[in-house]
Amino acid sequence: MQWMIYGAYGYTGELIAKEAISHQQQPILAGRNSAKVTELANSLGLEARSFALESVGQVAKQLKDIDLVVHCAGPFELTAEVMMKACIASKTHYLDITGELEVFELAARFNQQALEAGIVLCPGVGFDVIPTDCVAAQLKQQMPDATHLRLGFDSRSRMSRGTAKTSVRRIGEGGAVRINGKITNVPLAYKAEKIDFGGGEKLAMTIPWGDVSTAYYSTGIGNIEVFIPAHPKLVSRMRRMNWFRWLFRTEMMKNWLMKKIDSQPAGPKDEEREKYYTWVWGEAKNDQGDVITLRKQVLNGYTLTAQGAVTMAMHVLANPPAGGFYTPSKLYGADLVEKFSYSA
């Protein structure tokens, strides 16, 4: 069985490649930049391929001998559709590490095509969204009649360049929550309240996280919000940005922000990832007003992403399910999050 990491020379792609080697795996490393992917592959003793995501047909040819792809080249709003279509054409399982809710909805729309091709489409096999998706599924198991779901996480780690680029590209669209089963666009920092994610009570605000999409498919709960801690000044700044967020939808502004992000470090260093774990929180409520809460302490998001992507790739290759769109908890089980518990 052959599998590929596309976008392997990015910060998270390289972490996944090194994690794969630690499990005696030998994925093919691929990406657009031939020099970068070849340099990384040579350093790790792996095979390299270079190709761009411009034509579905051309990408499908590159995947004809590949059983599974872990797609790591974001922003995924620009790259996921071509790769998904190519995977369907070449009958190659598709995993990625996105947190972009539009990509999850895209994969859901391709469910029938993936089913007919006999392949898995499972975005979000990293920190985005394994732990929160599993918490959502566990809450549903404990409260089958839940009608409202709130999720969130508290991470002190710095963003990688890729995550930062994805975040700023979304600003112009505002926030998102799910109301009565429908994804609904809302203002930035739509809600702000104090939440104890596990490390003490903090002010938190809503964000358009991937779980607004995935938690619905995992649980069937129709009202979903996702929160992260935010300083009061950040909440105020985000709310002021609602007045001119149209500006962030222009390609000129997006490109300017991309260039600023490129000047930042690639991502947190190894010691930082080891030091800063993450709290994951979830709360379910039913129509009677009953509330249950779950809190879990998990690995740093980037470490979890590396381990999660390899775990899911090995799982699919060893236990290929029926084709179609999956969330992580649907593909592996709600106990998947326990594999990534943090212990000091």
> Are the C-beta atoms of 168 and 74 separated by less than 8 Å?
no
Burial-class residue 147 by CB neighbours within 10 Å (0-12, 13-18, 19+). middle
Q: Of 195, 201, 200, whose CA–CA distance to 225 is shortest? A: 195
- Per-residue tokens: 326: 């999956």
Supply the pTM of this predicted model: 0.94
Q: What is the Cα 65 distance to its own chain's centre?
A: 26
CA–CA distance, 138 with 177 (Å, rounded to integer): 20
If asked whether residues 270 and 290 sit together in one domain, one would say yes
Same domain, 96 and 186: no
Give 127's DSSP letter: T
Confidence at residue 164, expressed as pLDDT on a 0 to 100 scale: 67
Residue 314 and residue 205 share a domain? no
pLDDT digits (tens, 9 = 90+) for 161-189: 666 666 777 788 899 999 999 999 999 99
Q: Residue 97's domain is classified under what CATH number?
A: 3.40.50.720
Are 140 and 273 within one domain? yes
Helix then strand count (H, E) for the chain reads: 14, 15
Do residues 251 and 148 both lie within one domain? yes
160 and 289 inside one domain: yes
Q: Tell whether 262 and 220 lie within a shared domain.
A: yes
Tell me the pLDDT tens digit for each residue of 271-312.
Answer: 888 888 999 999 999 999 999 999 999 999 999 999 999 999
Q: Token digits for 49?
A: 């391929």
Query: CA–CA separation, 224 vs 129, rounded Å?
Result: 14
- Quick one: 71 and 48 in the same domain? yes
Residue by residue, pLDDT tens for the chain (344 residues) are 899 999 999 999 999 999 999 999 999 999 999 999 999 999 999 999 999 999 999 999 999 999 999 999 988 999 999 999 999 999 999 999 999 999 999 999 999 999 999 999 999 999 989 999 999 999 999 999 999 999 999 987 766 566 666 677 778 889 999 999 999 999 999 999 999 999 999 999 999 999 999 999 999 999 999 999 999 999 999 999 999 988 888 888 888 887 887 777 777 788 888 888 999 999 999 999 999 999 999 999 999 999 999 999 999 999 999 999 999 999 999 999 999 999 76
Is the same domain home to 284 and 261?
yes
Q: Which residues are registered as beta bridge partners of 341? A: 298
pLDDT single digits (tens) 34-57: 999 999 999 999 999 999 999 999
Domain containing residue 92: 3-126+303-340
Domain count, the chain: 2
Both 261 and 166 in one domain: the answer is yes
Of 136, 152, 250, 160, the C-alpha closest to 194 is: 152
Q: What is the pLDDT of residue 250?
A: 85
**Residues 97 and 28 both lie in one domain:** yes
**Which CATH number does the domain housing residue 174 bear?**
3.30.360.10
Quote the CA–CA distance of 309 and 3 in Å, as a whole number: 12
* Closest among 181, 223, 225 to 207, alpha carbons compared: 225
